[in-house]
Amino acid sequence: MTIAHDPMNFLKDVTVRLSIELGSTQLPLRDVMALGEESVIVLDRLTDELLDVQVNGRRIARGEVVVQGGRFGLRIVEMEGHAPLSPSAAPAAADAPAIAAEGML
């Protein structure tokens, strides 16, 4: 009898930093210091663009925002190095596993 053993199994418990990048911008410090309630910061990403999923600062996937149980989540649409899912092949947002976000970036 042969027991299949994954030689990388010991890495599965290593904690990494997963982040979702909504967008970014550059501002002069005077503009940052002038920010207050009701301020709006325009980001470099369009509303219909996929968001970057990063692990320890390296992009591993792209996805779209979903809402599950009153919380933000992210549905993975494409993994780095893989072809994106076609709309017909993508699971519905309610069926897809989502990564719960602790807050907006």
In a domain, 1, yes or no: no
Examine residue 56 and state whether it is found in any structural domain, yes or no.
Answer: yes
Residue 63 domain boundaries: 16-105
**How would you write the pLDDT of the chain (105 residues) with one tens digit per residue?**
566 688 888 899 999 999 998 899 999 999 999 999 999 999 999 989 999 999 999 999 999 999 999 999 999 999 998 766 555 554 444 444 444 444 433
Tokens of 38: 């009701």
- What CATH number has the domain bearing residue 68? 2.30.330.10
Three-state secondary structure call for residue 11? helix
Residue 4 belongs to a domain: no
